[in-house]
Amino acid sequence: MELTEIGIPGESSVPMKHARILRGPYQMSFDITNKCNFRCLHCFNRSGENPVTANELTDDEVLEFAHDLARLKLFNLCFCGGEPFLRFELMCKVGEILSASGSIVSFVSNGSLITEEKAKKLLSSGVTRGQVSLDGDNPASYERLRGVKGSFEKAVSAIKILKEAGFKEVDVAFCPTAWNIDEVESTFLLCKELGVSGFRVQPLMLLGRGKENARFILPTPLQYRELVKIINFMKEKYMFNESSNCSACGLTPNVTHNTNIEWGDPVDHLIRFPTITEHCSTSAGIKADGSIQVSPYLPITVGNIRKHKFSEYWDNGLARMWEIPKVKELAGRVASVKDMGRSDERIPTVWFDEDIEIDIIDDNLLGGLNERSKASV
């Protein structure tokens, strides 16, 4: 495909003064693997089945990437997936490299592979924060979505293990479905009792298996409206009146159990990044095959760390990737979660088809090296 066909400029006239001061991204997500031991009905990236799983970075490639990131001294890196604990030893090695450079290192997990021994080793390697998915307050509801018998108990156990091991933050992600949406408050209270730091709820994303199974797992518009009301009620009841929280969840009086409640919007960055922050993005994501993704919800990548080091991409304007016309075009197609599942034969289906692949270095998309990197040459 010719670059002119997808609207890529040879250079940009936009000043780099904002992006130039950044040594590297503020935060990054890294799919250390897309393999997974679950096949959850709502999984937006089809973990365990998507095209990336056949071409993942080797351990040596991941470690080389970690050393490169360490020199950038980013604030935070999160291991995503897939199920990151399938590459547990590699997680520990990367954690040691990045934490030694001052970075915060965290992970998201289904919790099924977390043991006391692994939690202690991971913490000692410098990984200090974690998130476990808990989509219901009982085994029947949770396992209907996750499809693995005994997974509810393992998720609850994982939260307890991480707390007891001394992780600085242990968060929970809750995905609403047609059958668990009435359990959001009771699940929050369970998390509060477990000492969870944050409780995040966001709409079901109509991508991957979430799109395939939408007809029987997607909440109705009325259910979503009621959910937002409940979340606002919960924030007022449990976050702004902490003295009553403990009695409300049956915990010991006079003990503080602060659990933040968050309603997430997965579409927000697709609206905000191409507009008010287009010239200076402070975040980046790497797929398990080394591709640099603009967003996990868009079928386009702008480089691959197998071609050039991540630091080289950053020096060549990666912070300005949202300026690229094709990126803006794809992001502009998504104004709501419902738009994520819209099909168009002219555009690859994210996590099913091969992405549109462009390279900001090889294709000189953003004007070449910035002044900081020129000065060091």
CATH number at residue 28: 3.20.20.70
pLDDT band at 105 (very low <50, low <70, confident <90, very high): very high
Give the torsion sign (CA, 79, 80, 81, 85): positive
Percent of the chain predicted with pLDDT > 70:
87
pLDDT tens readout for residues 233-282:
999 999 765 444 433 343 333 344 589 999 999 999 998 888 877 778 88
Distance of CA 169 to the CA centre of its chain: 16
Q: What is the average pLDDT across 202-226?
A: 96
168: number of CA atoms within 13 Å, CB side?
10
| Residues β-bridged to residue 355 | none
Mean pLDDT within 169-182? 97
Tens-place pLDDT, residues 123-173: 999 999 999 999 999 999 999 999 999 999 999 999 999 999 999 999 999
- Give the chain's domain count: 1
Looking at residue 370, its pLDDT comes to 47
Residue type, 51: P
Domain that holds residue 187: 3-376
Residue 323 and residue 366 in contact, taking contact as beta carbons nearer than 8 Å:
yes
Instruction: Look up residue 199 and give its two tokens.
Output: 């409780």
Quickly count: other Cβ atoms within 10 Å of residue 87's Cβ.
22
**Distance separating alpha carbons of residues 318 and 308, to the nearest angstrom:** 12
Q: How far apart are CA 36 and CA 296, in angstroms?
A: 17
